[in-house]
Amino acid sequence: MSKLRFNAETPLYTSDGKAWRMQDFHAVMAQLVALNKPVVIFVHGRGKEPGKSLFGATFTQGLAVHKIERGYDVSVLMFNWDSAFKGLNFLDREVPLSHTPAAGTALGLLLQQLKQFQAANPDTKKPSLLVHSMGSVVVQRAVQDGHWPDSKNLFSAVLFSQPDADDKGHSAWLEEVAEREKTYVTMNADDHVLRRSTDGRPDGTHALGLGTQEPLAAHAKYIDISLMGAVGKKDEDHEVFGKGAMNGQIYLCRFFTEALLGEAVVLDPAKNVESVDRNVIYRIKRKSEPGAPCLKVPELPSD
């Protein structure tokens, strides 16, 4: 099962490993909504997907869909794109980058389907959108190529987790999203995966998820989670939405919980924000409560 490969005919997956065609979107959304849990639409990053996020990987744990679904008690619908690197070259970005235009087009079809589903089901709670790592480039292409619908509030929140998109010039496409949706971007200067993510980048740029001095999207909120100590194991610090990667940080856990569950996101210097930089960068306070219920690490599927 872990050898499951990308198939353009079935870009949608549920946590049981079932593949769905784009034309099945209304049916699968109705099925997930019937579970009476918040729905998270997940756009994964680079890797040999959908196997990595559904069944685990050889050199990293993977299982992102289950970390989200079980960690936050939500239902996940994963959008799969052709994100595999070349051979065993884990640092390769050029091959997956070459597939992002097609992925952006396919994501646009999903967004149109979601718009139609919401028109037909106006009382249904809106899903959140979690975009991880190189999935941000897919969103970038969808926006730049005109595939993001000209409508507002498709999602309860849009959350970019450690985006691998170039920091330089990001504000133009991100602002188009942030003008339509409540948009959050995590940044962690300690993310060692993004530090190594240099292949296929223009000179003078780096991953947005490391932080940036470039112009910012005025309507987005950037969440600085740097300096929180060593988090997780192996590459878990890059999948910071996973409860096992949070290093006991209660305010970080609450932020992800609020955003993914479609609740009001609290960013308040009197409560959980250490400082606000450039008007839109919120550095989350450090407070360790490893035994808090929010931080309970879920049991994940095993081989």
Model pLDDT for residues 267-276, shown as the tens digit of each residue: 999 999 999 9
3-state secondary structure of 114: helix
Residue 110's contacts (CB-CB under 8 Å, 6 or more residues apart) are: 11, 12, 22, 25, 41, 79
Count up the domains in the chain and report the number. Answer: 1
- First-to-last alpha carbon distance for the chain, in angstroms, is 10
**How confident is the model over 177-182, as a mean pLDDT?**
98
Q: Which domain holds residue 193?
A: 12-295
Report the pLDDT value the prediction gives residue 153, as an integer from 0 to 100: 96
In a domain, 302, yes or no: no
> Is pLDDT above 50 for 1?
no
3-state secondary structure of 233: coil
In a domain, 2, yes or no: no
Q: Residue 83 corresponds to which tokens in the numbers above?
A: 């994100």
Per-residue pLDDT band at 157 (split at 50, 70, 90): very high
In a domain, 3, yes or no: no
In a domain, 125, yes or no: yes
Q: What is the pTM of this model?
A: 0.96
In a domain, 4, yes or no: no
In a domain, 303, yes or no: no
In a domain, 75, yes or no: yes
In a domain, 254, yes or no: yes
Report the pLDDT value the prediction gives residue 89, as an integer from 0 to 100: 63
**How confident is the model over 239-246, as a mean pLDDT?**
90
Helices (H), the chain: 25-33, 51-55, 64-72, 94-98, 100-120, 135-144, 170-178, 192-195, 250-260
Inter-helix orientation angle 25-33/100-120, to 10°: 60
Tell the burial category of 90 from Cβ atoms under 10 Å away from its Cβ (0-12, 13-18, 19+). Answer: middle
> Is pLDDT above 70 for 231?
no
Look at 8-12, 56-60, 120-124, 196-200 and tell me which has the smallest mean pLDDT: 56-60
Long-range contacts, stretch 23-27, CB < 8 angstroms, 24+ apart = 25/110, 25/113, 25/114, 25/117, 26/113, 26/116, 26/117, 26/120
Question: pLDDT exceeding 70 applies to what percent of the chain?
Answer: 93
